[in-house]
Amino acid sequence: MDLVLESILDLNSNNVWNLNEEQIAKLWEKERAEEGFSSSEEKLLNTIRLCFEVVHYNPGDERDVKKYESGGWARFSRCDERKGMVALRRKYIKRITDLSYENVRHITAAMLLELIDRNFGGGWDAIPLSIKDIIESAFDVSTTQLPTSRIHAPGGTLERKVEQGYEVLEVTKGTWTEAIFAKKKEPVMKLRCNSDNQYDEDGNIIQRDQDEDFDDESSMDQDEDGGDDTFYSSYAAEAEVKEETEEGFPIEE
């Protein structure tokens, strides 16, 4: 949490996880009085809600003051004072069901396995499918089950996975042990493909000059004018017409 933004307006769904309550409150109060800030309030509050509890309270209510001006809450004011104060406190992931597609990317493999271990000791199969999907969006997860006496065999699966950088959780099930392996997925870079490029046998892009492009376009125009009727002369009039199901349309079973 060492990151400090220069402006609360720079807050987004990625860097909000690196700030604490006091840092956000300080940035908010610093710029709250700036012209036009009120138009950004709701958007910023929605971003803050990704990893913080956000509540509005009345600073004139003694009960609210007692509850939110202690207990780890940070506070800041709304632009419209009639909306009262805002209190925020970081959300803590205590259970496997607290995971979401947003917060799962901001925990470590060791933290993930700790959450799985707290899940009544049921192992990977005891986790709901919807939660598995969330976990696997950010982690590579695999499991193996072996007799407990063999789980730590030299050169075995557990030893190899640890060497590959996986964290491991061992769940004892009678005389067997389930090993759950987890490793953070690397960010995937999206590559753009230019379909206009042509490549030689070695995979290098073939450089084409403007004259070649002109010649290609001229020959294409000639073909379109009817200079080449090879396609039509080779087309058989009695060619079989396929049913829709043969052209790749889905078929109900």
The confidence score (pLDDT) of residue 232 equals 41
Residue 146 in tokens: 């072996």
User: Which H or E run includes 87?
Assistant: strand 85-90
The confidence score (pLDDT) of residue 77 equals 93
User: What burial letters (b/e) apply to 151-162, b meaning 16+ CB within 10 Å?
Assistant: beeeeebbeebe
The confidence score (pLDDT) of residue 241 equals 40
Q: Write down the domain spans for the chain.
A: 8-90, 96-184
State the Cα–Cα distance between residues 233 and 223, nearest whole angstrom: 14
User: What burial letters (b/e) apply to 78-98, b meaning 16+ CB within 10 Å?
Assistant: beeeeebbbbbeeeebeebee
> Which pTM value belongs to this model?
0.65
Residue 215, Cβ density class (10 Å: 0-12 exposed, 13-18 middle, ≥19 buried): exposed
Radius of gyration of the chain, Cα coordinates, nearest whole angstrom? 30
Residue 96 in tokens: 């496997």
Residue 178 in tokens: 């389930």
The dihedral built from the CA positions of residue 206, 210, 214 and 217, taken in this order, carries a sign that is positive
The dihedral built from the CA positions of residue 122, 126, 130 and 132, taken in this order, carries a sign that is positive
State the Cα–Cα distance between residues 88 and 25, nearest whole angstrom: 8
Q: Give the single-character DSSP code of 69.
A: S
45, 84 contact by CB (below 8 A): no
How remote is the C-alpha of 25 from its chain's centroid?
Answer: 27
The confidence score (pLDDT) of residue 187 equals 75
The dihedral built from the CA positions of residue 55, 59, 60 and 63, taken in this order, carries a sign that is positive
The residues facing 88 across adjacent strands are 54, 74
State the Cα–Cα distance between residues 125 and 149, nearest whole angstrom: 22
The confidence score (pLDDT) of residue 142 equals 96
Would you write out the chain's pLDDT as a tens digit for each of its 253 residues? 455 688 999 999 989 999 999 999 999 999 998 888 999 999 999 999 999 999 999 999 999 999 998 778 999 999 888 888 999 999 989 999 999 999 999 999 999 999 999 988 889 999 999 999 999 999 999 999 999 999 999 999 999 999 999 999 999 999 999 999 999 998 765 555 555 555 555 445 566 555 555 455 444 454 445 444 444 444 444 444 434 333 332 333 4
Alpha helices by DSSP H, 40-155: 41-48, 62-68, 109-118, 129-136
